[in-house]
Amino acid sequence: MCGIFGVVSLSGLPLRHPGAVAAMAAALAHRGPDGERIVGHERARLGARRLAIMDLTTGDQPFQSPDGAVWMVCNGEIYNAAELRQGGERAGYPFRSKGDIETIVPLYARHGADGVAQLEGMFGLAIWDDARQRLVLARDRAGEKPLFWTRSSDELRFASEVQALLAFPDQPRRVSPPAAALFAALGYVPAPHTMLDGIHKLPPGHVLVAEAGSVSVRPYWEAAAAASAPNTLESARQLRDVLVGAVARELMSDVPLGIFTSGGLDSSFLVAAAARAMPGERLHTYAVRFLEPGYDESPFAEQVTHHIRSVHHVVTADDAALQRALHVVTDRLAEPVGDPALLPTYLLAEAAQADVKVVLSGEGADELFGGYPTYLGHKAAGLLRRLPGRGLLRALINRLPTSTGKVTTEFLLKQLVAAADLPVLERHLAWFGALGPSPEATAWAEGLLRGFPADPSLNRVLWLDFCSYLPDNLLVKVDRGTMLASIEARAPFLDRRVLELVLPAPAALKVRGFTTKAILKEAARGLVPDNVIHRRKRGLSVPVARWLNSSLASLADRYLTAPHLAPERVRPLFAEHRAGRANHARKLWPVLMAELWAERWGVEW
């Protein structure tokens, strides 16, 4: 795991700002506190900041081919490295390391950019082929690891995080209007956009090739193709075996490892599967404890971890700690992250860093197996539309007193009646987004689903969330939150074998009646306590609704009274929230983050 960065000339001319490469490295120091190395010449330079996890003595990057013509850096882990190493050895490649990352170099030598499709793992990588003057960038299938790039005249620059690209003095700092429109609607920026005009996010499952002055981006793996394959998921036992195998594969590490747990189904499955794969090992587990009534789930996590006798750590997230985390993330991340769960994620990672360098996390399970209450909401909306007198019911629900609690019944009912009559995609964006559906966001969602089966079931919205909400929001939260504390997060539910088994499975296996994650719950029996399997999903959240009217009131007044982002929509929402007439925290928080981001990084609206 590391932070990677570099710049290459596409014209053969010397680099315009070679000194900026060292500044790129400094901007990514948190991603790799264990070392730094840069290689190159006047036309190309690339490097890595290392977080040493595998092959602690010989695994320093960049790796170079024996003739020095190919240079490679990779942020992530390659889980099928053993098979790839065998292929390299048969081809006579003289490995200098014992770890997983160097296997990419001989793979490229044999297959070129197409070799990326053989990698299984989480990664953002860069290869410079000096003989061919070719740059290759690639990103893993699910989008666990980030990779950003920009073209400045005849140079292409890349990095694991946006702030490294801002190290160049000629990099413009202007908001991208299309990205801002999508951020306003969704609360996050979908690939290939970023909030900065001219800076791009390489989409998951894609490879970029820059050669002979041209740049092309293409997929090497597509979720739509995987979802269109014949279903092979036949039983909960089959699923359990594949998931347990994925957890075992992702336990590879030469340093201590832990697990983030909430006491919910997903993280509890990981804890149980890891304990089974590492008998006799004392796993470290981490849970967050909230002081706010209704937000704390740490007792459930403690129950699960007590069952396997892990070394359990509880991290208190009171207002002071959460606001300290807010200062850290807004000061150090050059992209607005609209998910407030980033704050407790950072606090967990900060605490875990004292004991471990790697954590497992449960991201991906909700999108693959249908875990969100939103999916049940679509079923309820169909029933509501057929209900006589629903106008009266809507009026009664809207008169319920407003709560600032965590995912309250009142909040869910108001969301249901407000969007029940909308078409499915618009309804989903209303429930899952920030300011709600817009023509731009609806067109984007329809385009993203092009190529998927014309399935009228809930699979359509699960696939939408897998392709964007997961990589562009949740995995951003996990990657940035953990890497700010210099630890690595892995998501076993996003193993390739799991993806290709579950994506094409019928929706009825995932959401059965009003039961979410139906087949995953069956697969967990015997591993996870029954009361955990049947407990209502709550999710990681923070008391943003209260903050906006209390401890962060002055900050909210400053930025939300007259925001740059969608002012005509934000002002009335903020007024309603401040008056206690409605809970608009989910809509307002991303706007506040965007305003703070633009001011911190000197971005022009």
Strand partners, 359: 258, 489
pLDDT band of 305, cuts 50, 70, 90: confident
Residues 291 and 361 in one domain: yes
Mean pLDDT of the chain: 92
Q: Tell me: pLDDT of 253 over 70.
A: yes
Q: Residue 272 CB: number of other CB atoms within 10 A?
A: 21
**Confidence tier at 516 by pLDDT (50, 70, 90):** very high
Task: Using DSSP bridges, classify how beta strands 358-360 and 488-490 pair: parallel, antiparallel or unpaired.
Answer: parallel
> Is the backbone peptide bond immediately before 62 cis, with ω within 30 degrees of 0?
yes
59 within domain boundaries: yes
Please check whether residue 156 is in contact with residue 135, taking contact to mean a CB–CB distance below 8 angstroms: yes
What confidence score (pLDDT) does residue 537 get?
64
CA–CA separation, 122 vs 397, rounded Å? 45
Mean per-residue pLDDT for 262-286?
A: 89
The pLDDT score that the predictor gives to residue 134 is 98
Domain membership of residue 162 (yes or no) is yes
**φ, ψ dihedrals at 56, nearest 5°:** -65, -25
Instruction: Identify the domain boundary among 505, 533, 561.
Output: 533
Band the pLDDT of 436: cuts 50, 70, 90. confident
Inform me whether the pLDDT recorded for 302 exceeds 80.
no
Give the per-residue pLDDT at 54. 66
pLDDT at 58: 64
- Give me the CATH number covering residue 291: 3.40.50.620
Looking at the fold, whether 178 and 47 belong to one and the same domain comes out as yes
In a domain, residue 154? The reply is: yes
Domain assignment of residue 390, yes or no: no
pTM: 0.95
pLDDT, one tens digit per residue, over 168-227 is 999 999 999 999 999 999 999 999 999 999 999 999 999 999 998 999 999 999 999 999
Indicate if 192 and 246 belong to the same structural domain. Answer: no
C-alpha distances in Å from residue 167, one per residue of 41, 96, 99, 171: 19, 32, 31, 8
Residue 162 neighbours by CB under 8 Å, 6+ apart: 148, 194, 196, 199, 333, 334, 335
Claim to verify: residue 191 and residue 327 sit in the same structural domain: no
Per-residue pLDDT at 387:
75
Structural domain boundaries, residue 586? 543-605
- Going by the DSSP 8-state scheme, the letter that residue 119 receives in this structure is -
Query: Which CATH number is 78's domain given?
Result: 3.60.20.10
Pair (168, 282) in one structural domain: no
Whether residue 488 sits in one domain with residue 553: no
Model pLDDT, residue 539: 63
Kindly report the length of the chain: 605
For the chain, the domain total comes to 3
Q: Does residue 341 sit in the same domain as residue 200?
A: no
- The stretch 376-390 carries a mean pLDDT of 76
CA–CA dist 587, 578 (Å, integer) = 13
The CA-based angle 145-146-147, given to 5 degrees, is 130
* 226 part of a folded domain: no
If asked whether residues 557 and 514 sit together in one domain, one would say: no
Give tens-digit pLDDT for 95-117. 988 889 999 999 999 999 999 99
pLDDT digits (tens, 9 = 90+) for 335-345: 999 999 999 99
Q: Is residue 422 a part of any domain in this protein?
A: no
The SS3 call for residue 180 is helix
Together in a domain, 358 and 216: no
Considering the domain boundaries, does residue 430 fall inside one?
no
Judge whether 454 lies within some domain.
no
Question: Phi-psi region for residue 59, left (φ > 0), alpha (ψ -120 to 50) or beta?
Answer: alpha
If asked whether residues 201 and 243 sit together in one domain, one would say no
- 576 plus 594 within the same structural domain: yes
Q: Decide which of 498, 533, 568 is a domain's last residue.
A: 533
Residues with Cβ within 8 Å of 55's Cβ and at least 6 positions away in sequence, in order, are 97, 98, 99, 100, 254
Comparing 31 with 410, the larger pLDDT belongs to: 31
Residues 352 and 250 in one domain: yes
